[in-house]
Amino acid sequence: MNALDSALYPDLFAAGGLIAAMELASEKKNLDLGRLYSHYASEPGRLVTAGLDSSRGRASVQLGSQSRTFYVAIRGDGFTWAEGATDDLGDLIEALAAWRDGISIGDFVEKFHFMTPGRLARIRESGDPVPAQWNWLRTAEEFHDERSLVEAFYADGRFNRFFPILSHGALRLRSVGLQQKAREVSVTPLSGGSYRVENLRLLDSAFPESLKKALDVASEVLVSDE
């Protein structure tokens, strides 16, 4: 707490920290946030954070240092349900409790105007997010440099039911619905036309020398447990 301005968060300092203040506020409102956990940083300037788990992802809270701000993000498996910021601890508590109680994403952002839904949130809640994610990666201008890699895997046809993610130039494909033992592969183009194909569940890597071979290796990884 020493890195924060006590004038911005007098309630947090009085309670003894973010977690304690959130627990106190939830008790006063008779709301259940479940088990709260926190990562207190001792280094100067680091922000205090708090988190809680729900059946629809993990919510994290971070404090602003220049103004009284509670930044909150609710993330699912590879996507964002909602994120936003408020200066009212009570509003934050009510939003988190409502989310844990199962409020729909539409009602959630309508009731708590400081929260913004993630791009895939409504699709994830009501249907299959995989086609929408493929379409986004294939059309968004921000992924222009990776377009040929994405198109090659999409056109192959063996990967269209897996959820695709682009991260630092690598294409990651993950099975949907198997949270604990999900099949997941990462494909990274290397210099000279070769590729690194990683089985992220087994932490095993192969280095095929062509895109065609990379497609075959990735397919073997994703269907090996089926």
Helix 147-156 to helix 211-223 angle, to the nearest 10 degrees? 60
Average pLDDT value for the chain: 88
pLDDT in tens, 96-140: 999 999 999 999 999 999 999 998 888 878 777 888 889 889 988
Please name the residues in contact with 82: beta carbons below 8 A apart, sequence gap of 6 or more.
73, 74, 99, 105, 108, 109, 115, 116, 117, 118, 121
Helix 129-139 to helix 147-156 angle, to the nearest 10 degrees? 140
Q: Whole-model pTM?
A: 0.63
> For residue 178, what pLDDT is reported?
44
SS3 for 11?
helix
Q: In whole angstroms, what is the distance from residue 91 CA to residue 181 CA?
A: 36
Q: In whole angstroms, what is the distance from residue 72 CA to residue 51 CA?
A: 9
Q: In whole angstroms, what is the distance from residue 226 CA to residue 221 CA?
A: 10
Q: What is the DSSP letter of 44?
A: T
pLDDT in tens, 154-185: 999 999 999 899 988 999 998 875 454 568 99
SS3 for 58?
strand
> For residue 44, what pLDDT is reported?
36
pLDDT in tens, 43-85: 333 447 899 999 888 999 999 989 999 999 999 877 899 999 9
SS3 for 122?
helix
- With contact defined as beta carbons under 8 Å apart, do 197 and 209 qualify? no
Output the CA–CA distances (angstroms, integers) from residue 55 to 48, 111, 179, in the order listed: 24, 20, 12
